Structure 1
Amino acid sequence: MAMMIEARSVGFRHSAKGAWLFENLSFSIAKGQIVVLLGQNGRGKTTLLKCMANLIAPTQGTIRYSGAIGYVPQQFVTPFSYSAHEVVLMGRARHVGLFSNPTEEDRARAAEALELVGGAALAERPISTLSGGERQLVLIARALASEADLLLLDEPASALDFRNQAVMLAMLRQLSASRGLTVVMTTHDPTHALEIADRAVLLHGSGRCEEGTVGEMCTEGRLSELYGMPMKRLDYVVGGNRASSIVANYGSMTARGEIGLFEQGLDESKAPVELTGRR
């Protein structure tokens, strides 16, 4: 099986004396596999993804990859009011000559990618008028239009509603199976890993990291340790199909006294304001 990414003893820290986000991380990702990066905020998920996209260099180790990469960041900001179709068409840049204009085939591929993510109706809308979730779908379409072999997605579901999350996950699973597309994505929802991923990377911070199959990594014990709170796996049947979800026991944080009404930033000299609806 062809390898798309091979990481060997990879590590990253922001300065020579700074703490490691992750270190000595090694893994291989084969063509058509889906890998999910999991961990709390600030543990290095986006940093590792950028290292894999060759946008920043790891502090230690090497990452080798084959094929064309499509990178989808969390946010996309442009000073120009491009239409959604024009943004997707930008993904065809590597197929268009330096002094050439997009061909009808390029435009057709862009339209096809938008339709694939359920965004055909957005084609003529200025990107500045789209919601965060709609922009995310457009960025995914742009990466697909590039005909990338390897798709790197930074929290692609963060601004999507439940239905569009389901559409996106089903689309990635279908593209992986039918086209051999390799996908690496960060997410805050371990259920996404159960739904579509083959492997998972757990980033604990302070240099500690783990990599393995979803079955090995997405256990209640490992996820509870990863997020610092009790996590439970629920197995159930929906429409005759077996499904699983990972849920967090949010109530346990209150019971353990770890919330404290944002104690760090609370100005105790100000009394609470009561809203009565009367002027």
Structure 2
Amino acid sequence: MTAPSLTVSNLRYGYRQPLFAPLSFACRPGDVWAILGANGRGKSTLLDTLTGTLPTLGGSVHVSGGASVVPQSFRPAFAWQVHDVVLMGRARHVALFAQPSAGDDARVSEALQQLNILPLARTPFNGLSGGQQQLVMIARALVSGSQNILLDEPCSALDLANQQVVLQLISNLAHRQQRSVLFTTHDPTHALQVASHALLLLPQGQWLAGETSAVLTEENLRQAYGVTVRKITLADSPCPVLAPLFSLER
């Protein structure tokens, strides 16, 4: 079996006080982990801890092959063009005081083309829509060459067509490039579609981790979100759909 590229062992994380019981899981090349939970449960805090932005409160995180993060938002201090923002992802491959090479520029163009945003290469990043900015940040993570790609709600600002682009990209990264992918999401159907494994953050500091189909059951999702969820199989879809049943007063 392939060795994990990201291993979490008895991790305690949060701000001053741990948010959850000690957390353990391992992500291997080719795995896609979806991290789900209600607002405020600590999904983004977990990603920050995995990358070392926040210190652990206990336990350990071991990363092999580097990790690149796609944050929910990015506000550069300068009026950088899209090409320049993506090129930043190549920083660890460029020697000190050296200039990016033609090969670095080619990788940038390839990533932008992969996400169908190459025409935006010379557009100021700050002038883009939120969804376009999200795609640019994903391109920046792609060119890094890191083994582990961590995405914080990558589809939250995207229309349906671009959600499909990003979900397909996540699948390609894992299955074609054998990268390890972790992404947070509020949409359990996205997790069912592309994730091999899921980490579900529950109330009172509890969590569940394992194969996606085993973790994302109707009962487990009800505990996580406090809303009734039904798993629906559609005749023209190979993947079930998880539909919330909202109770609205009239």
Structure 2 gap ranges (5+) = none
Task: Kindly indicate whether residue 134 of structure 2 is the aligned counterpart of residue 136 of structure 1.
Answer: yes
Task: Kindly indicate whether residue 9 of structure 2 is the aligned counterpart of residue 8 of structure 1.
Answer: yes
Whichever residue aligns with residue 105 of structure 1, its letter is G
Q: CA deviation at 1:89?
A: 0.7
The corresponding residue for 2:230 is: 232
State the distance in 2 between where 1:14 and 1:109 align.
Answer: 37
What is the CA deviation profile of residues 115-163 of structure 1, one whole-angstrom value per residue up to 9, with x for unaligned ones? Answer: 1112112111100110000000000000001111100001111100111
Whichever residue aligns with residue 10 of structure 2, its letter is S
The corresponding residue for 1:174 is: 172
Mapping of 1:152-231 within 5 angstroms? 152-231=150-229
For the aligned residue pairs, the C-alpha RMSD in angstroms reads 1.3
State the distance in 2 between where 1:149 and 1:223 align.
Answer: 30
100, 103, 106: which one pairs with 1:105?
Answer: 103
The corresponding residue for 1:23 is: 21
What is the CA deviation profile of residues 210-238 of structure 1, one whole-angstrom value per residue up to 9, with x for unaligned ones? Answer: 11110111111111111001011111132
State the distance in 1 between where 2:23 and 2:226 align.
Answer: 22
Please tell me whether the aligned partners of residues 117 and 141 of structure 1 are also in contact (alpha carbons under 8 angstroms): yes
Query: Share of identical aligned residues, percent?
Result: 39
Structure 1 gap ranges (5+) = 258-279
The corresponding residue for 2:35 is: 37
1:179 aligns to what SS in structure 2? coil
Please tell me whether the aligned partners of residues 189 and 241 of structure 2 are also in contact (alpha carbons under 8 angstroms): yes
State the distance in 2 between where 1:69 and 1:61 align.
Answer: 19
Please tell me whether the aligned partners of residues 14 and 42 of structure 2 are also in contact (alpha carbons under 8 angstroms): no
Larger Rg: 1
Whichever residue aligns with residue 241 of structure 2, its letter is S
The corresponding residue for 1:82 is: 80
Q: CA deviation at 1:243?
A: 2.4
Whichever residue aligns with residue 96 of structure 1, its letter is V
Bigger shift: residues 203-212 or 42-51 = 203-212
User: Taking structure 2 as the reference length, what is the TM-score of the superposition?
Assistant: 0.96
Whichever residue aligns with residue 59 of structure 1, its letter is L
1:21 aligns to what SS in structure 2? coil
User: Taking structure 1 as the reference length, what is the TM-score of the superposition?
Assistant: 0.86
What is the CA deviation profile of residues 156-193 of structure 1, one whole-angstrom value per residue up to 9, with x for unaligned ones? Answer: 11100111001100111012111101100000101111
Task: Kindly indicate whether residue 244 of structure 2 is the aligned counterpart of residue 243 of structure 1.
Answer: no
Q: CA deviation at 1:13?
A: 3.5
Please tell me whether the aligned partners of residues 203 and 224 of structure 2 are also in contact (alpha carbons under 8 angstroms): no
What is the CA deviation profile of residues 221-263 of structure 1, one whole-angstrom value per residue up to 9, with x for unaligned ones? Answer: 111111001011111132xx5222111112x2x24x9xxxxxx
What is the CA deviation profile of residues 20-72 of structure 1, one whole-angstrom value per residue up to 9, with x for unaligned ones? Answer: 42121111111110000000011010111111112112212111111111111
Bigger shift: residues 122-131 or 49-58 = 49-58
State the distance in 2 between where 1:244 and 1:215 align.
Answer: 10
